[in-house]
Structure 1
Amino acid sequence: MSLILDVRALSKGFTMHHLGTRVDAFHDVSFVLQAGEFLLLKGRNGAGKSTLLRTLYRSYLAASGQILFHSSHGEIDLVRAADVDVTFLRRTEIGFVTQFLVARPRVSAEALVAEPLQRAGRAPAEALDEARHWLQAFGVKRDLWPAYPTTFSGGEQQKVNLARALILPQRLLLLDEPTASLDASARAALIDRLADLKSQGTAMIGVFHHPGDVAALIDREIDLTPDQIPEQTQNMAEDMERTDVVV
């Protein structure tokens, strides 16, 4: 196996200006991740699981430490990388699956799902056929494919989100509660797709409310729950976990 990610002494916190204090989301986290490995993040609410994923994706800037990503172009520290390089890697090698779909108005579900393939150089017609395949696999009703996802229910939006996020294999895939709002058949389709990507060498880091859904895929676990954490700090950390949005 080849090394994909080397995280060294990574820390992240938030300054609560109205309280004049700082809250640590997580502190001194280190681990390595190989191609085809699945790492589960554990910990009670507010332990920093989602915040760690967003820091790895560079939606948040780390307070300290390194995120050494072994891209197809060489090693790059995502903590210090230029925004243009991070944007390029997000489009080509690093995927993020969240439970929320941010859909552009007046863009159809099938066009939204096909977009990553077209960006990667696939012909429009071929990309559209592949998009329809994955919309069907995740259980999106056929008559909704040309419709706008902004009009869909939460569950249907999540299926579109999964189809778009997982249509193009990546070197690194970050998963933040992707089974939320999914019915049983969509969850089964998700697990099948993750297993397929894992067999192709995609490295994954995930947060799951019900980790039993992916038990067969998990290689290692990291528990982010601190040994001791004051109740007030815990409550503020939970608030940050609930309100932060990936951009």
Structure 2
Amino acid sequence: MNMQLNGRPAKANVLRVDGLSKQFEMHHLKRTLYAFENLDFEVNAGEFILLKGENGAGKSTLLRTLYRSYLPRAGHIYYRTAEGVIDLASAADVDISVLRRREIGFVTQFLNARPRVAAEEVVAEPLRLAGTPHAEALNEARRWLAAFGVKRQLWPAYPSTFSGGEQQKVNLARALILPQRLLLLDEPTASLDRDARQALVDRLAQLKDAGVAMIGVFHHPEDVQHLVDREIYLKAIKIEDGEDDVAE
């Protein structure tokens, strides 16, 4: 097991990970790329867990596996939905899609910008899909674009034309506009300016107070240290033949 926990274990949980392992088969190299193995941990509602560890320990891979972008090699990811418990490791793709729309959020530093869609419409979309009237969703989107420091003249413009930093702000506004039950954060502050980083931290504090469970990797962990309840430390797996094939 390549994990150490600091802090008291929680009783009730939103997510319980049991014996989770992930590896990648590099067939063209005839090698196996190891990410992590036999992980066990739980996450409560309103709890913030910080992932730490050396480069190549599999922190981002773990988040993508929890989000089911990757299938684990072994283990279970028991998630408590509004209707009951489901194992994300083996759930049908259609169920995963529904949970991503309604309950599980994933925040990265990258925006998948769609052509010819205004920034304010991109940010408003999660609210509209949840049933919020268009005008109300648009007003809320503008509020969050302003909070993250996106200039007003850019709101009706296409994010595909923005700089990387401005795209990241749009991405954060979209990802955080609709509270989820579980939020996964993969280096969301990597290229943000100080004001945008503070806006992000303020929003995460609001979500934590609202009971959102969060797991994250941060380029500036000191920004969120006051929100952290526990830390999970991942160690890179050592390969028996002396070579280290690990995944970020």
TM-score, length-normalised on structure 1? 0.93
Deviation at 1:182, TM superposition (A): 0.3
SS at match of 1:13: strand
2:170 aligned with 1:153? no
Counterparts of 1:183 and 1:231, CA distance in 2: 43
1:23 is the counterpart of 2:42: no
Q: Give 1:245's aligned residue.
A: none
Matched letter for residue 45 of structure 2: A
Residues 188-199 of structure 1: pairs in structure 2 closer than 5 A: 188-199=198-209
Task: Confirm or deny that 1:173 pairs with 2:183.
Answer: yes
Provide the aligned length of Structure 1 versus Structure 2: 238
The structure 2 residue matched to 1:223, chosen from 230, 233, 238, is: 233
**Runs of 5+ in structure 1 lacking a partner?**
242-247
SS of residue paired to 2:17: strand
Report the counterpart of residue 174 of structure 2 in structure 1.
164
The residue identity in structure 1 corresponding to 2:73 is: A
Taking the aligned partners of 1:2 and 1:126, their CA distance within structure 2 comes to 35
**CA distance in 2: counterparts of 1:112 and 1:233, whole angstroms:** 44
Structure 2 distance, partners of 1:114, 1:101, is: 15
Counterpart amino acid of residue 15 in structure 1: E
Q: Secondary structure at the match of 1:67?
A: strand
- Contact 1:23–1:233 (8 Å) recurs in 2: no
Aligned 1:99-138 pairs, distance under 5 A: 99-138=109-148
- Aligned AA for 2:18? R
* Matched residue, 1:33: 43
Residues 1:48 and 2:67 aligned together? no
Structure 2-normalised TM-score?
0.93
**Mean Cα displacement is larger for which, 20-29 or 157-166?**
20-29
Matched, 1:202 2:209: no
The alignment's C-alpha RMSD in Å is 1.5
Q: Which runs of 5+ in 2 are unaligned?
A: 1-10
Residue 232 of structure 1: how far off its partner (Å): 7.2
Moved over 2 A (4+): 226-234
1:18-50 Cα shifts (integer Å, max 9, x gaps): 221212100001100000000011111110000
The yes-or-no answer on 1:58 pairing with 2:71 is no
